[in-house]
A and B are shown apart, each in its own frame.
Chain A
């Protein structure tokens, strides 16, 4: 995660404002990339790009057609599929004919109703790290061969380098969401302290200590204890 001086409100505001532009840049770049990939291999009915974080969760995606969105959604729901394999194995995945494929049973079940029989997917490798996958779908079998996989891989290399730079500057976006959540819980903790200070004639520090003690004893999150105090339904001890 980016190391930035977060404790300056001006920095925070600058980051919150900057993120909208950054998000737009990612979406546009990813969509253009998917369009170019689609046109690179004849017979392709749809192309898509997914960017994944280190744990395989999707952070951004771009696609040319609705069918790609549907087929991709099934992959991330079921946690398996050609793109996730390409991303994890860091090498291209070729599916000449889905009807005679034995990998990813859950995903195949999920896309059985979609007109997809050929798939090729290449990992997006940037700086030695797999940051996502590029994929093409076709309605007919045997549309893709080793040559299409190699072509897609050639295509993926410069695209991954470009996207990794955008993704790096996207980090403040996720951080800012975390920051908003932190501001919310911080406010809640302080309000709960205020309620206890008035209710039990405590100092701010003693009120905070009481809340911490309660959270530890219940093995609950501090914000949950505070929520209860604010709702007027404190458990024993407070």
Chain B
């Protein structure tokens, strides 16, 4: 099967993105599977190696899976001066949650 013109570049940058934040192929696959991805773990591995072509919608699901995993990574946040007053009142728990970074949970999540 031939590759779309943009497929090699899309694949290369997906691989670079997950490597940069140390996401394993099995973690990526599990997330992609949860987003209704149809390719198996070995096929995803083969796609990342450039050995297999995937249809555009499957490639986009892989990209979405990678981006959702990246968005969920805890990132350190620099505290503001009034964050400390918070902690003194014994509200350390909510301050800790802010430090979690990433996307704010939405109602119903």
A residues neighboring B (CB under 8 Å): 1-7, 55, 77-79, 106, 175, 178-179, 181-186, 189-190, 193, 205, 208-209, 212, 215-216, 220-224, 227
Q: Are B92 and A221 in contact (CB under 8 A)?
A: no
Extra contacts besides A6-B33, A182-B30, A224-B108 (16): CB < 8 Å? A1-B24, A1-B27, A2-B26, A3-B26, A6-B30, A181-B34, A182-B33, A182-B34, A183-B34, A184-B34, A186-B33, A208-B36, A209-B57, A212-B64, A221-B103, A224-B106
Q: In angstroms, how far is the closest chain A Cβ from the Cβ of B64? A: 6
Q: In angstroms, how far is the closest chain B Cβ from the Cβ of A207? A: 10
Residue of A nearest to B74 (CB): A55
Q: Are A79 and B96 in contact (CB under 8 A)?
A: yes
Q: Are A6 and B35 in contact (CB under 8 A)?
A: no
Q: In angstroms, how far is the closest chain A Cβ from the Cβ of B56? A: 8
B101 within 8 A of A: no
* A189-B35 contact given A7-B40, A208-B57, A224-B106, CB 8 Å threshold: yes
B82 within 8 A of A: no
Q: In angstroms, how far is the closest chain A Cβ from the Cβ of B55? A: 8
